Amino acid sequence: MTAAKASLAIPTASVRTAAPFVIRAERASDVPAREALLDACFGDNRHQRTCQRLRDGRAPAAGLALSAVRDGQLIGTVRLWHVSAGGRDALMLGPLAVDAEARGLGVGAALMDEALAIAAARGHGAVILLGDAPYYARYGFSPAKTAGLQLPGAFERERLLGRELTAGALDGAFGMIVATGVAERSRRVRKASPVSCAA
């Protein structure tokens, strides 16, 4: 492995308190609760958002659909998706959501830390997201290498952030971010009970 391919040592945020929850791979049985949580956090129009176009009909990247569970209940979720970022292989993170009842437990930080660690361990070079820059800066995300990238719809430029997991993975990235992941098998989703959101 060359120095350019070496993993970048950007510290990630740590969980603020002892975590009375577990982070694990998402299970099929999590889907109804995940969908209810995402509806609570992002509203009924979440399927019309720009980044959703990169997820529609696609499966998340292998090993990168995570659930936070406490007392048998889903309290958080994050998934990452294969994309081409102007010709560079990358992952698109999102959505990240945490149940309002779990606010302050460090669920979001734990999900981010685990997702980024798995992505790096699986050899992915970069992660991109559309989100709040001050929040995601603690995980090493910035707009520094996303200025030449576009999304397939309206977005706020300052919210398009990236983090290299491998040095140079986003060097020269320019153009449209497009989905490249495998097609998702269709499945019926049962509705879960409504939840509140802290995302």
pLDDT value at 11 more than 90: no
Judge whether residue 199 has pLDDT over 80.
Answer: no
**Amino acid (one-letter) located at 159:** R
pLDDT attached to residue 60: 95
pTM of the model: 0.82
Q: What average pLDDT does range 94-118 have in this prediction?
A: 95
In Å, how far are 33, 120, 129, 162, 171 from 133, measured between CA atoms? 28, 21, 10, 10, 20
Domains defined for the chain, CATH in brackets: 22-179 (3.40.630.30)
With 50 as the cut, is the pLDDT of residue 126 above it?
Answer: yes
Question: What is the mean pLDDT of the segment spanning 132-161?
Answer: 95
Cα first-last separation, the chain: 38
Across residues 125-143, what is the average pLDDT?
A: 96
